[in-house]
Amino acid sequence: MRSKVPPAPRYRRLTLHERRKLKMASSAHAYVRGSTVQFYKWLQSRGERAVPKGPPVWICGDCHAGNLGPLADAKGVIHVQIRDLDQTVIGNPNHDLIRLALSLASAARGSDLPGVTTAQMLEQMMVGYGRALKGPASSRIVESDKPDCVRVVMRRATSRTWKHLAKERLDNVKPNIPRGTRFWPLSKQEDRAIRQLFKREDVRKLVASLKSRVEDAVLEVVDAAYWMKGCSSLGRARYAVLLDVGKSRETKRDEYCLVDIKEVTSAVAPEPLIRKCRRIIVGASSRERETSLPPWELA
C-alpha cells in the first residue's frame, strides 16, 4: 500500500523514479503515456518512410488520450481539446496522429474492446482531424451529436467553480495545500525562489490579467508545494502555488488563485529541417539595402 506520508525533499527524486516505473508498469496505456522519448526513438528506427511527410506546423508533440480534456476558449465556450503543450514544437502533424492513435489503441486493448471498436475509434480520430482542418465552422459539432461521455465531461467542466477546486485541493479554515500523496514539502531554497518569483512585476501583471483582475492587484504567496503529477514528466520540477490576489486600492476583497508551475524541457519530437535565410543585396529605388529573405522568396 502506498504511503500517504510525503517524502522529504532530499528523497524526492528517488521516490519519483519509483512512482514513474510503477505507473508505467500498471498497463500498456500507461506505458505509452509515459514513454514519449521511447516513442520517437521507435519511429526513428523505422526509417524516414515510416512516417508520411507533413507540412511544418505547430504540433502537441505528446498527443495522447491523457492530454485531452475540457478547455475554454476566449469567449468561455468549452471544448474537448489538447491541453498539455510542454512538448509543443514546429513539426510533422503525423507525429501527433500516430501518437494519439497508439494511445487510443492501447487504451482499447487494455479495456478488452474488440478490434472493430479500435478501428472505429481511429477512423473517428481521422474524421475529426480532417474536419478541424476545414475551419472552426465545419469543426463545430451539434450538442446532440456528441457522445455521452464527452457531454458529461463538458457539463462537469462548465459547472466547476473555485469552491469545487478548494474542496478537493485545500484543507483547514485557513487555505493551504494539504501535504500527502500528491503535494510534498519544499526545501527552503525552493520556497524562497517561489516567493521571489511572485514579487516580479511581469509575473504580477500576468496573474492580474487572468479573469480581468485589477491592474494594481497585490499578490501574496499563501502556500506552495511540490506537485507529484503526470507520468512522463515525473522527476521534473513542478509546483502548486496558492496565491491571495485582489488587495488593492479599488477593492478589499481577497481572491485565491492556484498556479501550476512546470519545468520547461526541450521537445523530443523531431523538428523539420528548414534552410537558413541567406543575406543578399536587393535594389530599393535608387539605393541598395541589405536584407534577409528565405530561399523560397529568392526567385
The reply to whether 99 and 176 lie within a common domain is no
Total domain count, the chain: 2
Give the pLDDT of residue 254: 66
Q: What is the pLDDT of residue 225?
A: 93
Task: Please tell me the predicted confidence (pLDDT) of residue 249.
Answer: 52
Query: Does the pLDDT at position 57 exceed 60?
Result: yes
- Give the global pTM: 0.56
85 and 177 in a common domain: no
Q: What is the mean pLDDT of the chain?
A: 76
Kindly state the average pLDDT of the residues 257-262: 87
User: Is 3 inside a domain boundary?
Assistant: no
Task: Give the pLDDT confidence of 25-37 residue by residue, as tens digits.
Answer: 777 777 777 778 8
Top-confidence residue, 218 or 293: 218
Q: pLDDT grade, residue 264 (50/70/90)?
A: confident
Does 43 lie in the same domain as 82? yes
- What tens digit of pLDDT does each residue of 111-125 get? 888 889 899 989 988
- Whether residues 202 and 183 share a domain: the answer is yes
Cβ atoms of 244 and 219 within 8 Å: the answer is yes
pLDDT tens column, 166-210: 666 555 556 788 888 889 999 999 999 999 999 999 988 888 887
111 assigned to some structural domain = yes
Which has more confidence, 204 or 268? Answer: 204
Q: Which amino acid is at 19?
A: R
Quick check: 224 and 240 in contact, CB under 8 A? yes
Instruction: Inform me whether the pLDDT recorded for 8 exceeds 70.
Output: yes
Residue 80 has what pLDDT? 81
For residues 147 and 198, state if they share a domain. Answer: no
Higher pLDDT among residues 291 and 2, named by residue: 2
Question: Does 202 fall in a domain?
Answer: yes
State which residues form the domain around 129. 9-159
> Could you give the 3-state DSSP secondary structure of residue 34?
helix
- Judge if 151 and 175 occupy the same domain: no
Domain boundary among 106, 127, 159: 159
Indicate the SS3 state at residue 4.
Answer: coil
Q: Which are the contacts of 75, defined by CB distance < 8 A and separation ≥ 6?
A: none
| Top-confidence residue, 250 or 63 | 63
* 145 and 191 share one domain: no
Residue 46 binned pLDDT confidence (cut-offs 50, 70, 90): confident
Find all residues with CB under 8 Å of 7, minimum gap 6, and list them. 15, 184
Cα–Cα separations (whole angstroms), residue 188 to 128, 191, 195: 48, 5, 11
User: Which DSSP category does 85 fall into?
Assistant: -
For residue 227, being part of any structural domain is answered with yes
> Any bridge partners for residue 71, and if so which?
79
Residue 286 falls inside a structural domain: no
The DSSP annotation for 46-64 comes to T-GGGS-----EEE-SS--
Of 51-60, 64-73, 111-120, which range is least confident? 64-73
- pLDDT score at 191: 93
Predicted confidence band at 294 (pLDDT cuts at 50, 70, 90)? very low
The verdict on 135 and 189 lying in the same domain is: no
Tell whether 86 is covered by a domain. yes
On whether both 68 and 192 belong to a single domain, the answer is: no
Say if 54 falls within a structural domain. yes
Q: Give pLDDT, residue 298.
A: 32
Phi and psi at residue 239, in whole multiples of 5°?
-135, 145
- Residue 189's pLDDT is 92
CA angle in degrees (0–180, nearest 5) for 54-269-96: 55
Could you tell me which of 118, 90, 86, 80 has the C-alpha nearest to residue 102?
A: 118
pLDDT at 93 over 50: yes
Nearest to 224 by CA among 173, 175, 167, 166: 175
Which of 120, 143, 159 marks a domain boundary?
159
Same domain, 13 and 155: yes
DSSP result, 128-159: HHHHHHT-HHHH---GGGS-HHHHHHHHHHHH
User: Which of 117, 142, 159 lies at the terminal end of a domain, its last residue?
Assistant: 159
The answer to the question of residue 4 being in a domain is no
Does residue 166 share a domain with residue 150?
no
In the chain, where do the E strands start and end? 57-59, 68-72, 78-82, 89-91, 183-184, 218-227, 238-247, 255-262, 278-284, 287-293
Note whether 171 and 153 are same-domain residues.
no
Q: What is the rounded CA–CA span in Å between residue 276 and residue 58?
A: 19
Residues written for the chain: 299
The tens digit of pLDDT for each residue in 124-158 reads: 888 888 887 776 655 555 555 677 777 777 777 77
